C-alpha cells in the first residue's frame, strides 16, 4: 500500500513532467532531491503552472491559506514541494478545495 507521501510525490512529479512537456522540454527523471531551477529548468512561471496543476489534482493550495504565524520555507527542490503539500494534506484536511 502506498503512503500519502508517495501519492503526493507522484502527483508532483506528474505535474512537473506535464509543465515540461507543455513547454516543449523533457526530463529524463524527476527525483525529490532535484533542484527545480538549475536541474529541471523550471522558472517562476513554470512553478506557478505546476502549482495550478497540483491544486487541480490534489484539491489543495498550500499558498492560499498559510498557517498563521508560520513562514513557508523556500521551495528549491522537488522534495520541498512534497514536504509542503504533505504537511498541508496532513495538517489541514478540512481546507481541501471543492
Helix (H, G, I), strand (E, B) or coil at 80: helix
Which domains does the chain show, CATH number per domain?
4-63+71-93 (1.10.1200.10)
pLDDT in tens, 24-59: 999 889 999 999 999 999 999 999 999 999 999 998
Q: What is the mean pLDDT of residues 2-9?
A: 77
Of 16-30, 32-46, 71-85, the poorest mean pLDDT is in 71-85
> CA separation (Å) from 45 to 37, 48, 67?
11, 5, 24
What's this model's pTM, rounded to 2 decimal places? 0.81
* Most distant CA atoms of the chain, gap in Å: 39
The length of the chain in residues reads 98
Over pLDDT 90: what percentage of the chain? 56
Q: Report the interhelical angle of 4-22 vs 44-58 (nearest 10°).
A: 130
What is residue 94's predicted lDDT score, i.e. its pLDDT?
46
Model confidence at 60, pLDDT cuts 50, 70, 90, reads confident
What is residue 27's predicted lDDT score, i.e. its pLDDT?
87
Amino acid at each position: 500500500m502506498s503512503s500519502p507521501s508517495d501519492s503526493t510525490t507522484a502527483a508532483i512529479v506528474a505535474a512537473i513532467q506535464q509543465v515540461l512537456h507543455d513547454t516543449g522540454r523533457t526530463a529524463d527523471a524527476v527525483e525529490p532531491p532535484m533542484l527545480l531551477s538549475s536541474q529541471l529548468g523550471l522558472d517562476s512561471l513554470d512553478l506557478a503552472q505546476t502549482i495550478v496543476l497540483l491544486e487541480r489534482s490534489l484539491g489543495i493550495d498550500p499558498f492560499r491559506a498559510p498557517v498563521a504565524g508560520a513562514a513557508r520555507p523556500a521551495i528549491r527542490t522537488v522534495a520541498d514541494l512534497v514536504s509542503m503539500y504533505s504537511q498541508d494534506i496532513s495538517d489541514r484536511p478540512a481546507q481541501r478545495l471543492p
